[in-house]
Amino acid sequence: MLGSRKPRGALALGAAAGALLVCASGLSAAADDRDRPPGSPDRSPVATGYGGAVSTVDPDATAAGMRMLRRGGTAADAAVAAAAALGVTEPYSAGFGGGGYLLYYSAEDGRVHTLDARETAPAAMGEDAFTEDGEPIPFREAVTSGLSVGAPGAPAAWERAVDTWGRKSLRQVMRPAIELAEDGFTVDATFRDQTAANAGRFADFPATAELFLPGGAPPEPGTVFRNPDLAETYRAFARDGAQVLDGPLGRDVAAAAADPPTAPGTGREVRPGLLTAADVAGYAPVRRDPAHVEFQGLDVYGMAPSSSGGTTVGEALAIVDRSAPGDGDGAGTLHAALEASKLAFADRNAYIGDPAFTDVPVRALLSPEYAERRACLIDPASVLPAPVAPGDPSGGDGNGCPAPVAQPAAPDTEGRSTTHLVTADRWGNVASFTLSIEQTGGSGITVPGRGFLLNNQLTDFDFAASGPGAGEANLPGPGKRPRSSMSPTIVLDDGAPAMALGSPGGATIITTVLHVIVDTAALGTPLPDAVAAPRTSQRNAPETDAEPGFFGTPAEKELTARGHAFSATPEIGAVAALEYLEDGRIRAVAEPERRGGGHAEVLRPGG
Tell me which residues touch ligand GLU (CB under 6 A): 414-418, 436, 438, 457, 460, 484-486, 504-506, 509
CA-CA distance, 432 to 462, in Å (whole number)?
A: 27
The CA distances from residue 195 to 181, 347, 503, in Å, are 17, 36, 21
Helix (H) or strand (E) holding 99: strand 99-106
CA distances from 12 to 18, 57, 318, 319, 506 (A): 10, 31, 15, 16, 30
Considering beta carbons, is residue 423 or 484 the nearer one to ligand GLU? 484
Contact call for residues 73 and 166 (beta carbons, < 8 A) = yes
> Active-site residue 208, yes or no?
no
Q: Which of the residues 48, 74, 89, 418 is marked catalytic?
A: 418
With a CB cutoff of 8 Å and minimum separation 6, the contacts of 39 are none
Give the nearest distance from C-beta 347 to ligand GLU in angstroms. Answer: 16
Between helix 170-183 and helix 228-240 the angle, nearest 10°, is 170
Q: Give the containing element (helix H, strand E) for 237.
A: helix 228-240
**Dihedral of the alpha carbons of 129, 133, 135, 139, in degrees to the nearest 10:** -60
Q: Quick check: 258 and 276 in contact, CB under 8 A?
A: yes
| Beta partners for residue 224, in sequence order | 186
Smallest separation, CB 309 to ligand GLU (Å): 7
CB of 307 to ligand GLU, least distance (A): 7
Q: How far is the CB of 483 from ligand GLU (least distance, A)?
A: 8
H helices present in 401-507, as ranges: none
We find the least distance from the C-beta atom of residue 504 to ligand GLU, in angstroms, to be 4
**Cβ-based nearer residue to ligand GLU, 120 or 436:** 436
Q: Which amino acid is at 426?
A: R
Shorter beta-carbon distance to ligand GLU: residue 506 or 597: 506
Nearer to ligand GLU, 100 or 597 (CB): 100
Give the residue from 363, 497, 339 showing the smallest Cα distance to 427: 497
Strands 544-546 and 566-568: parallel
Query: CA-to-CA distance for 580 and 159, rounded, in angstroms?
Result: 28
What's the rounded Cα separation, in Å, for the pair 156 and 15?
Answer: 43
DSSP of 173-208: HHHHHHHHHHH-EE--HHHHHHHHHHHHHHTTSHHH
Write the CB contacts of 542 (distance below 8 Å, at least 6 apart in sequence): 385, 386, 387, 565
Q: How far is the CB of 305 from ligand GLU (least distance, A)?
A: 12
Q: What single string gives the DSSP state of each residue in 267-330?
A: ----------HHHHHT---B--PPEEEEETTEEEEEPPTTBSHHHHHHHHHHHHHHHS--SS-H
Question: Shortest gap between Cβ of 576 and ligand GLU (angstroms)?
Answer: 13
* Contact by Cβ (8 Å): 168, 71: yes
Least distance (Å) from ligand GLU to the CB of residue 486? 5
For ligand GLU, the closer of residues 229 and 414 by Cβ is 414
Q: Sort strands 430-436 and 419-424 into parallel, antiparallel or unpaired.
A: antiparallel
Cβ 22 to ligand GLU shortest distance, Å: 25
Region for residue 306 given its phi and psi (left: phi exceeds 0; alpha: psi -120 to 50; beta: otherwise): alpha
- Residues belonging to the active site: 418
